[in-house]
Every structure is written in C-alpha cells, then in structure tokens.
Amino acid sequence: MASIRQFQVTFDCAQPERVARFWCEVLGYVIPPQAQGEQAWSACVDPSGAGPRLYFQRVPEGKAVKNRVHLDVRVGTGLVGEARVTALEAECARLVELGAVRVRLLPADEDNESCLLMQDVEGNEFCLD
C-alpha cells in the first residue's frame, strides 16, 4: 500500500509576504510565526492542518506566461445554474477588494459548471469553482 505524502504548493513571486497575506485571506489560512517579517520567503498554513502549506519565494524575474498549475478555490460546490454564479460573483467581489483581478466568467457547458477565472495580487491565475 502506498503511503500518503504531505505536499506544499510553491509560488514564485516578487513580494512573498504580500502574496502570502492575500492567500491567507482567500483561504482562511494563517502565517506561521517563522514566516513573518521581511525576508526572501513567506508561507501560510491551514490552521486546522487539513490543507496543504503554501510557500512563497522571492524570485528576480516576473511572471511571463500563463500558469501551468493553478488553485481552484471551491466556493460553488453543490450549486448549479444561477445559484452557483451568484456565489462565485459574491466571492469574486470580496477578493477584488483584497487586490485580486476578475478575468472572466467561464459559463457552464455540457461537461462543466460555471467557474470564474481570476488573478491574485501578482497576476497568478486561479479559479473560483
């Protein structure tokens, strides 16, 4: 039987503390004491211990192309149609106030429910799903 491994998601960024604080607000995570203060990295963790650790490391280059990996923030689970879009738009409005950018709504089709494509405070794509 294979063992389950813990993992963290790592973000390259220009301002690790700023991006970490944004994601803490999005997910209800916290910045652990050892990750606080101005340094070349920051992190945020799920206070319940259930979710993965997010790690933010300073890199000199800026973002140049679309992410190959992104987070789906699950805010519409179990909702369909207009109820789902309403929930996505409400969370989108909250995150825009935190510095996120709304890119576009991807409407439901035969295979998928609606989701909202967004960018975090440094332009990293993520979806409200």
- pTM for this entry: 0.90
Q: Mind listing the pLDDT tens digit for each residue in 55-94?
A: 999 999 988 888 889 999 999 999 999 999 999 999 999 9
In CATH, what is the architecture of 8-58?
Answer: 2-Layer Sandwich (3.30)
Ordered by start, the domain boundaries in the chain are 8-58, 71-128
Write phi, then psi, for 42 (nearest 5 degrees).
-150, 175
The encoded tokens of residue 123 equal 């332009």
Residue 7, CA distances (Å) to 3, 22, 55, 115, 121 in order: 13, 20, 10, 25, 23
65 to 59, 68, 69: CA distances (angstroms): 15, 9, 12
Q: Residue 72: which of 102, 10, 116, 11 has the closest Cα?
A: 116
